[in-house]
Structure 1
Amino acid sequence: MSAAFPDVHTRRARQAELKRDLEFEDTLAGEHLRFRTTWGLFSPRRIDDGTRMLLERMEVHADDDCLDLGCGYGPIGLTLARKAPQGLTTLVDTNYLAVEYSQRNAEANGIRNVECLTSNGFSRIRDRRFDLVTSNLPAKVGREMLQTYLLDAHEQMNPGGRIYVVTITGLRRFIEKGFKDVFDNYDKVKQGREYTVAAAVREPD
């Protein structure tokens, strides 16, 4: 049989291999975590450089109520939950599979001060208020979606609350304008060749 057309046993073995969960461990901002992921989720085999850069530069208080917007399988949100044991960290994503894996990873790491929800941005968490909002924003984020996220975040952040995002460096001016338009302030926390971490504060009304 031609190598281009493997037999049924080979195909089934390959199919089973691809469906098997991926597992790895890593230390993020001083917190050692175990992750179970799968193909189809963002960066399933390792923590991406943007996420690591973001986590290393966020100010997190022990009693912060945190939001991880677009949580994937949970590396940002679960790290925040460890850093803020007296607060509640909410992880949301539009992808139900990502939320499922976030919940599994929270349980596997014994992290209980979290909730994982399928939500289009803030749609399912309108009753929450946050001290810290963060996101690894995709490069394809559009102007309208960014504005929606930032306006919703501002509305649901406590006075003095912080927002941190990481994006590809090519979007830094776009993010700067968005932060200044909505929060009236902007801090370029760290700019690298590939990624930039930016932050803003919700000033008291």
Structure 2
Amino acid sequence: MSPVRTVARLFLSTIFVVSGARSIARPTPWVPRAQKVSEKVGPLFEKASPKLPTDAESLVRIAGAAQVAAGFMLATGRFTRPAALVLAGTLVPTTLVAHPFWTVKDPVERRHQETHFLKNVGLLGGLLMAAADTKGRPGLAWRASHYAGHSRHALEHGRHNLEHGLHSIGQSGQSVRRAAKTARREARIAYRAAAAGRRLPS
């Protein structure tokens, strides 16, 4: 395992573990912002299952728990690609809800929110790179094309063998027909010789 990958994953996951733990312990500061999300996804959760929590505080804690769990997996190198995708999934709504700089009137605050927004966009880029990192092993796309090429080669080889077999069968059939024709001809000759022998005087 590359030391650079290990350090990079550790740095990238730290902010998610810390912010996720804070959201679990003290969700109140995030509730007003999460209310916008809960109003949209709450009805969808209720349709899926009435037992699913739909209030803003529960959603904040669930998102925080997902960030802590996925952050630890990313930091320790376990299931890093799915963990990075989970973190990216929690980061997108958090960024849109927490830092909508385009709605801020005050220039100073707008610049402040824009900085945080771009920071999160940078984190999202890092997570997408981590999700695509195969640690030097062949990726899914390469393996799929490799197996497809191998399958095509096997099919072509099988087709060639089938054609060769059919050709051999055809040649065998011709040999059998020639042998039968020769046998019939020799039988006629023998029959004629036998008939001629019967007609000779004793």
TM-score range with shorter-chain normalisation? under 0.3
**Using CA pairs below 8 Å that are at least 6 residues apart, which structure has the higher relative contact order?**
2
- Point out the structure with the larger strand share: 1
- Point out the structure with the larger helix share: 2
TM-score scaled by length of structure 2 = 0.20
**Structure possessing the higher radius of gyration over alpha carbons:** 2
TM-score scaled by length of structure 1 = 0.20
